[in-house]
Amino acid sequence: MSVLVVGSVAFDSIETPFGRAERVIGGSATYFSVAASFFTDVQLVGVIGDDFTEEHLDVFRGRPIDLAGLERVPGGKTFHWSGAYGFDLNVAETRATHLNVFADFEPRLPETFRQPDVLFLANIDPELQLGVLRQVRRPRLVALDTMNYWIASRKSDLERTIREVDLILINEAEVRQLTGDANLIRGARRIIALGPRTVVIKRGEYGVLMVTGELIFAVPAYPLEEVFDPTGAGDTFAGGFLGYLASVPDHGHPHMRRAIILGSVLASYDVEAFSLERLLQIDRSDIDRRYREFRELTEFGDLEPGAG
């Protein structure tokens, strides 16, 4: 069982109301891989420069993460994202995006990476996403993430890629931007009409909404008193969600629901500290504990006959 991710490996500079971090490790593929590695083998496809040292690569070590698809460009600099959040931590403001080695990135998959069970096309150019999909034998599940930038600048390329995937992870503002519909359920149905069977809508502190042809499933975010830095929450969610799905034999509704909870649990750890600090400290028992707490959070039982 394995999951393949293509996405960014980055340095992030972040400002939140609670502090600042300069050039800390980030990137969609980084967060995704660490989260997914709690459940399954991960194959990472991405690019770094010389400045991403062996020491930085320690985040991946001791975990089942295969870096054979992580290309290093000699003399190049690693992708660098700068962002800030106000008190509304659901809204990230991009201050600068230095693509560096990411600008000429053309993912080429090693031979050993061409038969993943699950494929995650993290937020990159939709044409590159399609190029990766063309290099693998059809996986059991293909999922895609995207962002407002691609919806605004490359909508038709993005829609072409969306037609070929099984599942899309997208935040609520992006559903509205992509579909022109203010209502999330109707927006999700419009995306389903394009091709994907499942739409997973990320709503920050309000949780996640999953919509398929037959099912609507909604969970709140884990109720933390202190959210420190939301960077990477979406990709960490995707890692827990798809890592679990790669590890189970079928993708029926019971496993899909559990996957949503596990994604939410992993994301709740990510947001407690900058970068991957907190994610690197936890183990399976921490995940299982919050999973049980989620059950209590959302359990309310049946009404007694005649009650009320």
Which parts of this chain interact with ligand AMP (CB under 6 A)? 8, 10, 12, 26-28, 81, 97, 123-124, 231-235
Q: Measure the CA–CA gap between 188 and 181, rounded to whole angstroms.
A: 9
What is the 8-class DSSP label of residue 46? E
Complex with ligand AMP: residue 97 or 177, whichever CB lies closer:
97
- Shortest reach from residue 124's CB to ligand AMP, in Å: 6
Complex with ligand AMP: residue 104 or 288, whichever CB lies closer:
104
**b/e per residue, 211-223, with b = 16+ CB within 10 A?**
bbeeeeeebebbe
Complex with ligand AMP: residue 1 or 157, whichever CB lies closer:
157
- Shortest reach from residue 85's CB to ligand AMP, in Å: 10
DSSP 118-161: EEEE-SS-HHHHHHHHTTS---SEEEEE--HHHHHH-HHHHHHH
- Shortest reach from residue 275's CB to ligand AMP, in Å: 8
Complex with ligand AMP: residue 72 or 189, whichever CB lies closer:
72
Q: How many CB atoms lie within 10 A of CB 106?
A: 10
> What are the Cα distances from residue 117, in Å, to 21, 247, 279?
36, 9, 24
- Shortest reach from residue 27's CB to ligand AMP, in Å: 4
Q: Measure the CA–CA gap between 198 and 179, rounded to whole angstroms.
A: 15
> Nearest residue to ligand AMP, using CB?
26
Complex with ligand AMP: residue 166 or 235, whichever CB lies closer:
235
- Shortest reach from residue 122's CB to ligand AMP, in Å: 7
3-class state of residue 13 by DSSP: strand
Whether residue 141 contacts residue 119, with contact meaning beta carbons closer than 8 Å, is answered with yes
Complex with ligand AMP: residue 216 or 224, whichever CB lies closer:
224
| Main-chain dihedrals φ then ψ at residue 102, nearest 5 degrees | -70, -25
- Shortest reach from residue 80's CB to ligand AMP, in Å: 8
- Shortest reach from residue 126's CB to ligand AMP, in Å: 12
Residues 6+ apart with CB under 8 A from 271: 89, 224, 227, 228, 229, 230, 233
Complex with ligand AMP: residue 83 or 116, whichever CB lies closer:
83
Whether residue 119 contacts residue 168, with contact meaning beta carbons closer than 8 Å, is answered with no
User: Burial of 153 by CB count in 10 Å (0-12 exposed, 13-18 middle, 19+ buried)?
Assistant: exposed
